[in-house]
Structure formats: C-alpha cells, structure tokens
Amino acid sequence: MASHARQLLADRYKLLTPFRRDGGGIMWQAHDLRLKRDVAIKEVQPPYRVDVADLPAARRQALREARSAARLSHPAVITVHDLLEDKGRLWIVTELLQGLTLGDTVRHLGRLPVHWAAWVGFQLLSGVRHAHTMGVVHGDIRPTNVMLTEDRVVLTDFGIAAFDRDPAGSTTVPVARSGAYLAPERLRGKGLAPSADLWSFGATLYCGVEGRPPYPTMGPLPAAALLGREPEPPRRAGLLRPLIEGLLRHDPEERLTTDQAMHMLVDVLRRQGIPAAAPGRTAGELPSRTGATGAHPSAHSPGHGWPVAPGELTSGGLYGVDPPRRDNPYWPSPTTRPRRHGPPRLP
C-alpha cells in the first residue's frame, strides 16, 4: 500500500489513498500536480478469460466509459477529466465527490423520507434523461452508483454504457453485484435500451423508500423477476407509489417514459412545497404539468441543497422515519425551527 501511495501516474497524478472498490475497479483519491487539484482515479480492472487478462477488452471498456461520460455535461452526471494508460494499467480520472452513496445512506438511515426520495429521484432522473438525449444508456443504475453530496445527486460509473450503441462493445453486467436492479428483459439476455435504465431507476427509488431492492435475492439472480412476477408493492412510498409501480412494469412497452416519470416527480415535489429544479437550473427550464397546484413559492427558484418540507422539524427525526442510529454522524443536526433550505450534513 505504501508503494501505491507514492505512485505517480503519467508524471501528473499522485495516488493518495483508495476509497472504494467494486467489480468494475478500484477508486483512488489522487492529486493532479499540473492543475493543483484533488481528483478521483479509477483503475479499470480487465475482464479475465481462462485466467488470462483480456487487455484489449479492458481498453475498449475504458474508452467506452470515458467517452460516454465525457460527452455528457450535467450536474447529475460524473465529470470525466482524463483517460490514461500507465505501464499497461488503465485509469480514468474524474471529479472527486465528497459524500455517501445512496446505498450507504439507506444503510445508515434505514430508508429515506418520501420527499427526500422524490428530490433524489428528480435530480437523478434529470441526469438520466440528459444521457439518453445524448445517445448514452447507462446500463447499471443502482444505489451504489448514485453519489449524494451536500447539494448534488450524481450518477457515476458509465463503464458499461452503450456509447452510440457500439456493436463491438460488451454490455454484459455482472449479475452478482447488479442483478437486483436489472430490468427483467436484461436478465433474460436482451440488450441495453433506455427503458431498461428506467426500470433500474425505479428499482433504485424503491430501495430508497423501502430500504431494500424490489426483489429479494437469495442468489445472484432474482428468481421472481425471471418468472415474470411483479415486485411486492412499495408500502412506504406514499405519493411516489404510482411512479414506482409504473417504472417497474415487466413489459418495457407499458413502462413509464422518462417524460412521464419526470412530470410525476415534479408534481410530487410541488405538492410537498419543494423546489423542482436541478442545481444551476430554474423550475422554468424543467417540464411541469399545466395548472399544477400546491406549489410553494420557492418552487420557482433554483434548487440548492437537500429538501426539507414546509413545517418539518428536523430535531433528530423526520416524518415517518425512525432512525436506527441516533448517534449517526450523517443525521441532520437538531434545530428549533423548520428548515426550508440547506441539506442534512452529509459529508
């Protein structure tokens, strides 16, 4: 580990410490000596075939990941800075995000309040819609690929995204880590499509409000999804239930579209009195239903930070949520009056 900490990549990036590892590679915090800034660097692990590293496949995967993400410019999509090869090892350089994944947050809190989940879903779906508009299908939306910072929701890891639907690129997802959030048609071997991203988005939202994926997984594959059974209805989703059920339909043709889902999220947020705007954008730039009622005046101003519904007291608890750990450092700081602006203290 000490030798890694002193390693310098491409005479520019100094590796500092690893902070995340999954089947797609190791994520390091590093320092860019040229631009004097901290960045995140992911080492792309090559797939293995009969115990032999397939380096050409790893290079193709790295190029797909970098090109797919680099062509996107949206607050809810990870920013890619660079792609490099050093001594036969492949690295992707991205912005360094300070925060927790959605999966970690759900484990800390048990589940999210409905209005938090709606705000997270709105930000995330705005990024997904932008990617789809640019011809990029993510293909692996799940709670561990969604980062929650102090004022952003960021979709990461475009390692298996279909870049212009490159027929030479693999779109296989290791079901051991993603099976619970894969659309049923993908589990049956069909290729990537925007509708599959929407199912995975719905499953991620389901996890946010229920604290678990829509299908229990006793093995690498959720058997109920393969057998065509619908997920158990979400019991704690409140106003989000129609949206989640519409996204988790087995038939892709019957699934909600991106615009339909976005309209439903905007309605839920406005009924909660929460600004329906992504960071740096105003509500007027986003879709809304004609004649929507119940909107709070701040719904027409730029959205900043985590949402707190009007009248909500954040004295260590939130409506409908019993925190499993009162000593959790990520739980909102106690206040004596309602807080309309400013996020809970997520690092």
| Same domain as 44, residue 167 | no
Check whether residue 229 and residue 138 sit in a common domain. yes
Asked whether residue 142 falls in the same domain as residue 240, the answer is yes
Residue 105 lies in a domain: yes
* One domain for residues 71 and 109: no
- In angstroms, the CA 127 to CA 278 distance is 9
Same-domain check for residues 87 and 224: no
Instruction: Report the C-alpha gap between 95 and 90 in whole angstroms.
Output: 17
Same domain, 168 and 267: yes
Strands 100-101 and 89-95, bridge-based pairing: unpaired
Which one of 86, 140, 157, 327 is the catalytic residue?
Answer: 140
105 & 208 share domain: yes
Q: Which long-range contacts (CB under 8 A, 24 or more apart) does 166-174 make?
A: 166/64, 168/60, 169/60, 169/61, 169/64, 170/57, 170/60, 170/61, 171/139, 173/139, 173/140, 174/23
Flag whether 70 is in a domain.
yes
Q: In what order do the strands lie in the sheet with 13-22?
A: 8-9, 13-22, 25-32, 37-44, 89-95, 80-86
pLDDT at 344: 38
Other residues' Cβ atoms within 10 Å of the Cβ of residue 277 = 24
Mean pLDDT by 10 residues, the chain (347 residues): 66 91 78 96 68 67 74 91 84 91 94 95 96 90 93 83 49 57 84 91 97 74 59 92 96 95 95 78 42 32 47 34 37 33 37
Q: Is 11 a catalytic residue?
A: no
Strand partners, 42: 27, 92
- Residues 118 and 85 both lie in one domain: no
pLDDT tens sequence across 237-296: 999 999 999 999 999 999 999 999 999 999 999 998 988 876 654 444 444 433 333 333
- Rounded CA-CA distance 169/312 in Å is 48
- Entry pTM: 0.76
**Regarding beta strands 136-137 and 8-9, do their DSSP bridges make them parallel or antiparallel, or are they unpaired?**
unpaired
Question: CATH no. for residue 289?
Answer: 1.10.510.10
Residue-number span of the structural domain to which 197 is assigned: 100-300
Task: Tell me what pLDDT residue 40 has.
Answer: 94
Asked whether residue 252 falls in the same domain as residue 109, the answer is: yes
Q: Are the CB atoms for 154 and 126 separated by under 8 Å?
A: no
pLDDT of residue 248: 95
Residue 32 CB: number of other CB atoms within 10 A? 17
Residue type, 75: P
pLDDT at position 160: 57
Strands 13-22 and 89-95, sheet pairing: unpaired
